[in-house]
C-alpha cells in the first residue's frame, strides 16, 4: 500500500485494492456531488463515471466545492475532473455532459452510484435503474422549508438503497403525494435554497456509508441506511421511520426482476 493511505489502513488489509476496483458513479456535480467527488478522490477511487449537463454559474459558487471564479461558463464536469486529476493522475474518468439517462451504458457497470439530484422524479428513475442492474444507490439531498412565524427549517437525508432491500418508496421518502406535488409545481419552484455546509455534512455521511459498504470496516453493513439531518440543530441521526419498517423485503423492485429489460414478442 502506498504511504498515502497509511492513515486509512484501519479500513482493512485489502481495503485499498477494493476501493481501487470499484467503479463509482456520481450523478449531479453541484453542491452535493462536488463534495462527493472530492472525497472519493482523496480516498483513492480510480474509476469514475461522472455526469452533469450544466455549466458553472456565479450563483453556484456559494457551494460548488473546487469551483473558481474563472470556471464561470465552464462545465461543472471540468471542475470535478480537475479535482479528481489533482489527486489521482491515472484514474479512469468517464465524464458525461448530458443527462445520465443518455449514457446508461456507462452507468450499468458501476458498483455504487451517488445521486445528488433535486427532484423525486430524477431519484425515482435512477433508483429504478440501479435496482434493475443490481447497483448500490446512495441518495443525498437537502432542502430549506419556510415556516410561518418561525426561522426556516433546514433538513436533509442520506439513503442507501441496496438491491433486494427496502427502497426509497418502502422508506416513505418517495411517495405518490410528493411526486404529484412536485409535478404540479413544475417550473414554478424557482431556485431552491442551497448552502455549502449541509451539503458537506450529507456528502461526508454518504461517502462514509459507501466506504463501509465496500470495505465492511465497521463489521456491520446495514441496509437500508436512512439518515436524517436537522440543519437547525446540526444533528444527524437514524431516521425514526426505520424503526417502523415492517419488512426488509421490497415489493417495488423484486430481485427476480433484475437484469436487462427484455423485449418480449407478443
Chain positions contacting Zn ion, by CB under 5 A: 167, 169-170, 250, 252
Q: Nearer Cβ to Zn ion, position 246 or 266?
A: 246
Q: What is the DSSP string of 186-220?
A: TTT--PPP--HHHHHHHHHHHHHHHHHHHH-TTS-
Q: Nearer Cβ to Zn ion, position 56 or 250?
A: 250
Minimum Å gap between C-beta 126 and Zn ion is 15
Minimum Å gap between C-beta 251 and Zn ion is 6
Pairing state of beta strands 92-96 and 112-115? unpaired
Q: Nearer Cβ to Zn ion, position 31 or 165?
A: 165
Q: Residue 178's Cα: distance from chain center in Å?
A: 19
Q: Which residues lie below 8 Å from residue 206, measured CB to CB, with a gap of 6+?
A: 36, 114, 138, 139, 140, 158
Minimum Å gap between C-beta 161 and Zn ion is 8
Minimum Å gap between C-beta 240 and Zn ion is 18
Minimum Å gap between C-beta 163 and Zn ion is 11
Q: Nearer Cβ to Zn ion, position 48 or 173?
A: 173
Pairing state of beta strands 235-238 and 225-230? antiparallel
Residues 161, 166, 171, 172, CA torsion sign: positive
Q: Nearer Cβ to Zn ion, position 75 or 172?
A: 172
Q: How far is CA 67 from CA 31, 85, 97, 143, in A?
A: 10, 14, 17, 21
Amino acid at each position: 500500500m502506498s504511504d498515502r493511505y497509511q492513515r486509512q489502513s484501519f479500513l482493512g488489509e485489502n481495503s485499498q485494492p477494493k476501493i481501487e476496483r470499484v467503479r463509482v458513479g456520481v450523478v449531479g456535480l453541484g453542491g452535493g456531488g462536488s463534495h462527493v467527488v472530492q472525497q472519493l478522490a482523496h480516498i483513492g477511487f480510480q474509476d469514475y463515471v461522472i455526469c452533469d449537463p450544466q455549466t458553472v454559474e456565479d450563483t453556484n459558487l456559494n457551494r460548488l466545492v473546487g469551483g473558481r471564479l474563472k470556471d464561470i461558463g465552464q462545465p461543472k464536469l471540468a471542475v470535478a475532473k480537475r479535482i479528481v486529476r489533482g489527486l489521482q493522475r491515472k484514474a479512469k474518468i468517464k465524464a458525461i455532459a448530458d443527462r445520465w439517462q443518455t449514457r446508461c451504458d456507462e452507468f450499468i457497470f458501476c458498483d455504487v452510484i451517488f445521486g445528488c439530484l433535486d427532484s423525486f422524479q430524477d431519484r425515482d428513475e435512477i433508483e429504478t435503474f440501479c435496482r434493475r442492474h443490481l447497483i448500490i444507490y446512495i441518495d443525498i439531498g437537502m432542502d430549506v422549508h419556510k415556516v410561518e412565524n418561525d426561522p426556516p427549517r433546514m433538513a436533509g437525508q442520506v439513503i442507501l438503497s441496496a438491491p433486494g432491500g427496502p427502497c426509497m418508496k418502502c422508506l416513505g421518502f418517495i411517495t405518490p403525494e410528493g411526486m404529484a406535488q412536485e409535478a404540479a409545481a413544475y417550473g414554478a419552484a424557482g431556485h431552491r435554497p442551497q448552502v455549502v455546509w449541509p451539503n458537506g455534512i450529507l456528502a461526508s455521511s454518504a461517502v462514509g456509508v459507501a466506504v463501509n459498504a465496500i470495505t465492511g470496516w465497521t463489521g456491520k453493513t446495514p441496509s437500508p441506511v436512512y439518515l436524517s439531518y436537522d440543519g437547525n440543530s446540526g444533528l444527524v441521526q437514524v431516521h425514526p421511520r426505520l424503526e417502523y419498517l415492517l419488512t426488509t423485503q421490497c415489493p417495488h423492485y423484486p430481485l427476480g426482476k433484475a437484469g436487462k429489460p427484455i423485449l418480449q414478442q407478443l
